[in-house]
Chains A and B, each alone.
Chain A
Amino acid sequence: MAAELRIEIAGEDGIVAARQRARDTARRLGFGMVDQSRIATAVSELARNVVRYATDGRGEAIVRELESPDRGVGLEVVVRDEGPGIPHVALAMRDGYTSGPGLGMGLPGTRRLMDDFAIDSAPGKGTTVTIRKWHR
């Protein structure tokens, strides 16, 4: 079974820890410099959302190695929290939309950096974002 890493996010130190672990795993899996940068940046965006918007800035990131017969080796990161959730997910996925202090680039930008992107969120039930990058 593929390795899995769990990183607790509690405040801004969690942002650095999550993106470093994700990058380390990407490097070990043989991802190139650009993909390592994309992965670290995407995880940084998602972890910062947790720190900014989730209850007490708490959540977690799970870094998983993937292996698929048709897509090869990949890396999956799940970032989730039990915060207030996003009322309008479609709106939050638009460039420049933000309900907070950011630029509104985080979620749409993260989707552009990754191969796969899924978000599950609703008011009161927290937010889970799953991203994947495949090794080509």
Chain B
Amino acid sequence: MARVPVVRIGDVLVATVQEDLYDRDALHLQADLTDRLEHTGARGVLLDLSTVEMVDSFLGRLIGEIAASSRLMGAQTVVVGMRPAVALTLVELGLGLPGVRTALDTDKGHALLRRLIANGDRVAPRGRPSGR
């Protein structure tokens, strides 16, 4: 069984989720991230799903919970690299992951996290005034 590696880069925790995750590894990742947030004071979490071939309702819910609990601990979460087939399947399944910020790839994810950390969650879509 392979656990999801979590690497700290500056004040961001980066988790690269592997191809086909066992439930226990997913639950371990959730606990590990919360633990690391507490001990490192990291301000951001980047979940890289670029090699993940399947997200079912269990994993989808867990991703939502990671984002929600990270927010409560003062950190922003961005999910990056979701494959088109996975995204389509999730929506059909009925899970649009509301409240979870996403970016196309790791670079865009880091850029989004930088802005989220700087602005405390209030980031307007690019090119539009924030209205706040």
A residues near B, CB below 8 A? Answer: 12-13, 15-16, 19-20, 23, 33-34, 36-38, 40-41, 44-45, 48, 95, 102-103, 105-106, 108-110, 112-113
For the residues of A in contact with B, the DSSP-based class is: helix
A12 to B53, CA, bound (A): 18
B86 CB contacts on chain A under 8 angstroms: 37
A34 to B92, CA, bound (A): 11
Q: Are B53 and A34 in contact (CB under 8 A)?
A: no
A101 to B65, CA, bound (A): 14
A113-B93 CB under 8 A given contacts A12-B23, A16-B22, A102-B57: yes
Nearest CB of chain A from residue B88's CB, rounded to whole Å: 6
Find residues 38-69 in chain B having any chain A CB closer than 8 Å to their own CB: 53-58, 61
Partner of B55, one of A41, A103, A108: A41
Q: Are A37 and B89 in contact (CB under 8 A)?
A: yes
State whether the Cβ of B84 lies closer than 8 Å to any Cβ in chain A: yes
A23 CB contacts on chain B under 8 angstroms: 53-54
State whether the Cβ of B85 lies closer than 8 Å to any Cβ in chain A: yes
Q: Interface readout for B17-47 with A: 1 if CB under 8 Å, 0 if not?
A: 0001011100000000000000000000000
B54 CB contacts on chain A under 8 angstroms: 19, 23, 37, 40-41, 44
B61 CB contacts on chain A under 8 angstroms: 102-103
Q: Are A41 and B89 in contact (CB under 8 A)?
A: yes
A40 CB contacts on chain B under 8 angstroms: 53-54
Q: Are A34 and B58 in contact (CB under 8 A)?
A: no
Partner of B88, one of A37, A105, A108: A37
State the 9 A-B residue pairs at the shortest beta-carbon distance, nearest first: A109-B93, A37-B85, A44-B56, A33-B85, A34-B85, A105-B57, A37-B89, A40-B54, A12-B23
State whether the Cβ of B95 lies closer than 8 Å to any Cβ in chain A: yes
Q: Are B20 and A106 in contact (CB under 8 A)?
A: no
A58 to B89, CA, bound (A): 26
Apart from the given pairs A12-B24, A103-B61, A112-B93, 10 other A-B contacts in the complex at a CB distance below 8 Å: A16-B20, A37-B89, A38-B89, A44-B56, A48-B58, A102-B57, A102-B61, A109-B93, A109-B94, A113-B89
- 23 A–B contact pairs at CB < 8 A? A12-B22, A12-B23, A15-B22, A23-B54, A33-B83, A33-B85, A34-B84, A34-B88, A37-B86, A37-B88, A38-B92, A41-B93, A48-B23, A48-B58, A95-B94, A102-B57, A102-B61, A103-B57, A103-B95, A109-B95, A110-B93, A113-B92, A113-B93
